[in-house]
Amino acid sequence: MTGFLRRHWLLFVLLAGGITLRVLVWLAYEPALLYIDSFRYLNNLDALRPTDLNPLGYTVVLKVLFAFGGLAFVQAVQHVVGVVLAVSLYALTLRHTSRRWIGALVAAPVLLDAYQLQIEALLMSEVWFQALLVGMLWVLLGRGEPTWWRAGGAGILLGLAVVTRTIGFTLVVPMVGYLVLAGGAWRSRAGWKRIGVRTAAGVLGVLAVLFPYSAYFYSQAGYWGLTGATGNVLYGRTASIADCAELPPGDAGLQLFCPDEPVDERHGIDYYTHFVYGDPNWPAEGLPDSRSKEELANQFAKEVMLNQPVDFVGSILRDFVKNFDPIKRTHHNDVPVERWQFQLSYPYYNIGDSSLEAYNAMTYAYDGVPPRANQDLAAFLRTYQLGGGYTWGPLLAAFAVCGLIAAAGVGRARRSGLRSAAFLATGSGLIILLGAASFEFSWRYQLPALVLLPLGGALGLAAMLGARKEPSGAAAGTRRTTLDDYPDDVDAEAVADFRQRYGNSPLTPLVVVIAAYNEAKGIGAVLRGMPTHCGDLPVSTLVVVDGATDNTAEVAHEAGAYVCVAPRNRGQGAALRLGYHLASECGARYIVTTDADGQYDNNEMPMLVKPLLDDTADFVTGSRRLGSYQHDSAIRWLGVRVFSWIATVLTLQKVTDTSFGFRAMRAELATSVTLREPQYQSSELLLGVMARGARVLEVPMTMRLRNNGSSKKGRSIKYGANYARVMLGTWIREYVLRGGKRAGRAVRTS
């Protein structure tokens, strides 16, 4: 636990600040903040009318929460959700990079942004909308290339987001784009089949929510829809820019809908949306023909868009750019920013006649107290907010730029495996801001981008920096820290995920364990050539994916293997240790290890396993020196012989090959040996087994060159130095300190 705190100290500092601020907000405004929309939700709790201005998603959430508490309870839950969102985004970021400071950059806006804190205190749908978006991102980005069922799950979450806030519908575009691009499947004909299946699953997931919801709407309204919002949305946008002279002069209805004020003296979008069109008594002189108010508003908006396309698009883009303003201020004719700022006294909004009485009645009904504010705490929060306690607009823009650069494949990002992920997060953030700007600009509408753009920027930054997981000690030729006892945090998470997908005992008595890191190109051929039986025993194959950054897991799954995914890259030794224990726990009596790169001949497995089944050995390892092998390095050719001689001297038992990866052993033996090395595990396992007096047998085997890529073990000299360190350290631990059996059973060759 201490190590965990030390590794993630920056997150815990941010959490301390974020939680403290949320407690202060909860104490400052009792029982919760209520906005105009809050009363719409509260007044629809019993009727659940889908035809109201807001969709029913948040209303249903409130109905559930009110079964456990009042308004103060809802505010507290929403603050907790905010903290969970930050931690979830941090964890998702660390699925793709080892740089924890990048994860902290993603969590900080959600934890510390005062506008986020204020919206959590309000009875508004934003925080739940954010939660659904983060859930969608986790389902799609949490583990390799998306499968059809994960795409379907993401679609369901997106559908729920749409019925929480209809602007979520715009995210269908980046979701579909991601499903097409993810994993580079579009590069092959077979990949397009996968794309078609998972894209269809994603779209069907959205429809699985929206169709029954729309059917319920139809049953209440008599027409299909998702919300009672009508033509007032576009009318407000177009009324603020309309040139009345461009409208058909003979159409009295359209002329009536054009504001009287000159264009440069027009009110804001909010005014024409809610106070003009939203006035049930407008127009006072009545409609001039048989067209309804909604029909005229829609026709008016279309005419303006067709006649003034540059003005229309320009007004949207100007509002879109405001999201990246360094100062949160009220722009001309915009929704006042004060609505989303902490006030020194409890804020009341005009909800009609007797607004004060309505506020009091609502808070008394749910909490038995009047709405009130602690002025000292409110003053502190307001000072924090106005003094810079929010996400700086240019920083959001920088996140967006990083995400877009990575999505375009600039520099190292091209081969990072993160391009499509950066596209999804960044594209979602930008399109939701653009979609909101098409209606009107409000700082409230920026908040969903706090969970999207920082993540996209972080993924882009990770892609351009080049390292997505822990720097591989194998690849770098450097030393990794030794492993904690099994199971550590990574082991526990991987095993829990495996059991959730496969159950407790899915494996056969004979299990082949393969550790794989970025082996998507070669592992399929290895798995397809795996025997289905050895003697009378059926064979299961367990692939332990060691925090891969490609679609190794998906390729292995499609080839019929059981797949256990370690969320973080730790090294082959860590992956194999996890595989030994998981196989043993899931029913294996015998374990075979082989590599994912095709260097070993699977057809030789019966010869490898037979001594175990005949009970003439406890541990059987192949030997390239007794058999045949290809090599591309004279240094490693020499190293095989040198380390064999060293092992023979240290153990006083004849050994011809210490690092052959094609081995078979009893499951209880594999799990009884102390394994601490994350990478140079082959000699550690062999010496550990020999120290326990197990019957060890070497058999002649074939070793070929890799079928794909290059070795991840680094340069030969550095690798040799580390290998020697591990061999000597294991000998000291097992033979000197623990009194291993140097004079025990000899290693036999066959």
Give, for 23, the enclosing helix (H) or strand (E): helix 9-28
Bridging pattern class, strands 696-703 and 619-629: parallel
Give, for 514, the enclosing helix (H) or strand (E): strand 510-516
Given a contact cutoff of 8 angstroms between Cβ atoms, the answer to whether 94 and 103 are in contact is: yes
List the chain domain ranges.
1-124+333-389, 136-225, 232-324, 392-468, 474-749
- Looking up tokens 């740089």, which residue turns up? 99
Handedness of CA 91, 92, 93, 96 (dihedral sign): positive
Given a contact cutoff of 8 angstroms between Cβ atoms, the answer to whether 517 and 480 are in contact is: no
C-alpha distances out from residue 259 to 160, 192, 277, 297, 336, Å: 37, 52, 11, 12, 22
Q: What are the backbone dihedrals phi and psi of residue 247, each rounded to the nearest 5 degrees, phi first?
A: -80, 155
Other C-beta atoms closer than 10 Å to the C-beta of 653 total 18
Residue among 655, 633, 680 nearest 483 (CA): 680
Give, for 562, the enclosing helix (H) or strand (E): strand 562-566
The angle that helices 419-439 and 309-321 make with each other, rounded to 10 degrees, is 120
C-alpha distances out from residue 529 to 522, 525, 539, 561, 605, Å: 12, 6, 12, 12, 11
| Exposed / middle / buried, residue 518 (Cβ in 10 Å: 0-12, 13-18, 19+) | buried
d(CA 428, CA 410): 20
Q: What are the backbone dihedrals phi and psi of residue 712, each rounded to the nearest 5 degrees, phi first?
A: -95, 10
d(CA 68, CA 145): 39
Given a contact cutoff of 8 angstroms between Cβ atoms, the answer to whether 453 and 422 are in contact is: no
Other C-beta atoms closer than 10 Å to the C-beta of 20 total 10
Answer whether 0.75 is exceeded by the pTM: no
The contacts of residue 595 (CB under 8 Å, 6+ apart) are: 514, 515, 526, 661, 662
Handedness of CA 183, 186, 187, 190 (dihedral sign): positive
The CATH code of the domain at 474-749 is 3.90.550.10
Q: What are the backbone dihedrals phi and psi of residue 474, each rounded to the nearest 5 degrees, phi first?
A: -65, -45
Other C-beta atoms closer than 10 Å to the C-beta of 143 total 20
618: tokens are 């406890």
The contacts of residue 662 (CB under 8 Å, 6+ apart) are: 592, 593, 594, 595, 600, 604, 608, 621, 622, 701, 703
The contacts of residue 710 (CB under 8 Å, 6+ apart) are: none
**pLDDT attached to residue 709:** 53
498: tokens are 């495996």
In 163-248, alpha helices (H)? 172-181, 189-221, 232-239
Bridging pattern class, strands 590-594 and 510-516: parallel
Bridging pattern class, strands 663-666 and 590-594: antiparallel
d(CA 719, CA 710): 14
Write the single-letter amino acid at 160. L
**pLDDT attached to residue 441:** 92
**pLDDT attached to residue 707:** 57
d(CA 123, CA 116): 13
Residues of the chain with pLDDT under 50: 467-479, 714, 743-744, 746
| Exposed / middle / buried, residue 219 (Cβ in 10 Å: 0-12, 13-18, 19+) | exposed
C-alpha distances out from residue 165 to 140, 286, 465, Å: 21, 33, 36
